[in-house]
Amino acid sequence: MIIGDNVVWKVGELAELTGITVRTLRYYDQIGLLSPSCYSDSGYRLYDETDLSHLQQILSLKDLGLSLEEIKTILSDKSYDPAKAVSLQIDRLKENIRIQQKLLKELQNVSDLMKMKEPLTVENFTQLFGMMKKSHEKYFTGRKTNMENHLDRLEDFLVKDPGPKEEQS
């Protein structure tokens, strides 16, 4: 859709373009993380190229394991450098690719040995298991860190607001 000289997308169009659900985009708007640039006369959310860039930054930071609240804080910081987040994401992706390539090499080695009907040694299995562990370790480390962050925030909340106090008689 074009309004004036600007290309804009309704929430459904942006969802289709980016692979993000409409529900997620509406939630991001609700929490003030990604609000549309404008609204149509009918009240539809309209997103422009600046919003698209902002969404890319959100997804980059989310991919690095940050919570939405942390992302909101980072993006509101005037000294935030989007290029740094993309650079971190590139580094992380390169490391993941390196690990996956090593796993592929080990799997190919085991496959070749099996095709030649060669016996697999403990060393073959050890190397393969080590690479499989490294491949999956990244996933579980990220989940553990995310859970620890949630627990830390919950603890902070509980310490700040311990709840109703019992009346003393």
CB-based contact 29:37 (threshold 8 Å) = no
Q: What is the mean pLDDT of the chain?
A: 80
Whether the predicted pLDDT of 35 surpasses 50? yes
* Token digits of residue 169: 């008689």
* Token digits of residue 56: 């890319």
33/53 Cα distance (integer angstroms)? 13
What's the pLDDT score for residue 148?
A: 58
147 pLDDT tier (thresholds 50, 70, 90): low
Comparing CA positions, the residue from 13, 32, 15 lying closest to residue 23 is 15
Q: Of 32-46, 56-70, 87-101, which one has max mean pLDDT?
A: 32-46
Whether the predicted pLDDT of 169 surpasses 50? no
pLDDT digits (tens, 9 = 90+) for 41-78: 898 999 999 999 999 999 988 888 888 998 999 898 88
168/33 Cα distance (integer angstroms)? 43
152 pLDDT tier (thresholds 50, 70, 90): low
Least confident of 26-35, 123-132, 139-148, 150-159: 150-159
166 pLDDT tier (thresholds 50, 70, 90): very low
